[in-house]
Structure 1
Amino acid sequence: MRGADYTVSGDQLTLTASALTRLVGNRAYGVNATLHARFSAGVPWRIDVVTYDPPVLSNATGNTTSFAVPTQFRGDQLATMEARYADGSNAGPHDWTSFKEFDVAFAPDYTGNRITLTDTFFGAVDDGTRVTLTFHFWSGTTVTYHITRSGGSVTGVTASATRMG
């Protein structure tokens, strides 16, 4: 209800603290509520109210045909992934960009608590060279992870997380 739950000033929508408290409920990770902002023209905007903490990645070993980074998403969702070698050059397929193709080079598995790196990705990664992966999440958080391919084996180790905003 306008005034009690939100205000609009120019192009800024502000939700009241009491409305947000009601919308997030028990603050379980993930989407707690979905709002729809309606305008005089065009389609309504969908606004998800999300509770999250920075994702946590864990060390892993595997091979180039089935490697997964154990991931506690903690309510956040993966937006994209970058891959670079130590010298700053781009790693993986489509080496003209550091950003890798979603569902081709990598894919999140939210129910399985992991991010899978594909054999397509490893097919374009130099053997014996460390690759720095930067996972970008929709919250603005980035998490850095290091992988090294040695023949058909892969080792992954955690690096750091940076929370934005």
Structure 2
Amino acid sequence: MAGSTRLAQGQGYTVSDNQLTLTAAALTRLVGSRAYGTNATIEARYSGELPWQIYVTTYDSPVLSDATGSTSGLTLPTQYRGDQLATMEATYADGSNAGPVHWSPYQELNVSFSPDYSGNGLLLTSDFLNALRDHTQARLVFHFWSGATVTYHVTKNARAVTGTVV
């Protein structure tokens, strides 16, 4: 199903063994205007199983911009363009991990960083920024659900923080 409309097997989709294939015509209808974000949700039902939600999404690679601020928090201007943030890894040039999570380069969502989709921003928290070494550039790699990555550099000098897109 897509919304309240049932897709017809053979017209909207085919199933072969364990593979579901949507037709080009069905996808064209589902994406509509192709606005960024989720354009449709398909519910696939298999006998005796819970339904699966399949999201039909239009996206382009996200775009981040340079930013300046302080260790109280830094918002990176971000055009998500229909994509969603999955995680962030943070390292220094010597390969060591940057941020409050010292045992892994992957930092904790909503502790070190938070996406702000409606505000077109990506917040680096005070916890994350205060854990950075002074006068040393940290390399951040933002991973998105589409598989896209964006590399960003952050440098802390006392309480001042600058961020630049690589």
- TM-score interval for Structure 1 and Structure 2 normalised by the shorter chain: over 0.9
Does 1:29 find its partner at 2:36? yes
1:11 maps to what in 2?
Answer: 18
For 1:134 and 1:42, the matched residues in 2 are separated by: 38
The aligned amino acid for 2:75 is: A
Give the residue type in structure 2 aligned to 1:97.
S
> In structure 1, what is the Cα distance between the partners aligned to 2:50 and 2:87?
26
Answering whether residue 69 of structure 2 is matched by residue 62 of structure 1, we say yes
State the match for 1:102 in structure 2: 109
2:130 maps to 1:123: yes
**How many angstroms does 1:42 deviate by?**
2.9
| Number of residue pairs aligned between Structure 1 and Structure 2 | 159
The TM-score normalised by the length of structure 2 is 0.93
Q: Quick one: which amino acid aligns to residue 153 of structure 1?
A: A
| Contact 2:73–2:129 under 8 Å retained in 1 | no
Aligned equivalent of 2:51: 44
4+ runs deviating over 3 angstroms? none
Percent of paired sites with the same residue: 60
2:152 alignment counterpart: 145
For the residue of structure 1 that corresponds to 2:89, the secondary structure is strand
TM-score (norm 1): 0.94
**Matched residues in 1 for 2:76 and 2:50: separation?**
38
Task: For residue 41 of structure 1, report the CA deviation from its aligned partner.
Answer: 2.6
> Based on CA coordinates, which of the two structures has the bigger radius of gyration?
2
Gaps of at least 5 residues in structure 1 are 160-165
Cα offset, 1:23, TM superposition = 0.2
Query: How far does the alpha carbon of each residue in 1:35-88 deviate from its partner, in whole angstroms, 9 at most, with x for none?
Result: 011112332111110000000000110111120110000000001100010111
Q: For the residues of structure 2 that align with 1:11 and 1:127, how far apart are their CA atoms?
A: 54
Could you tell me which residue of structure 2 aligns to residue 82 of structure 1?
89
Task: Give the AA of the match of 2:148.
Answer: T
State the SS of the aligned residue for 1:143. Answer: strand
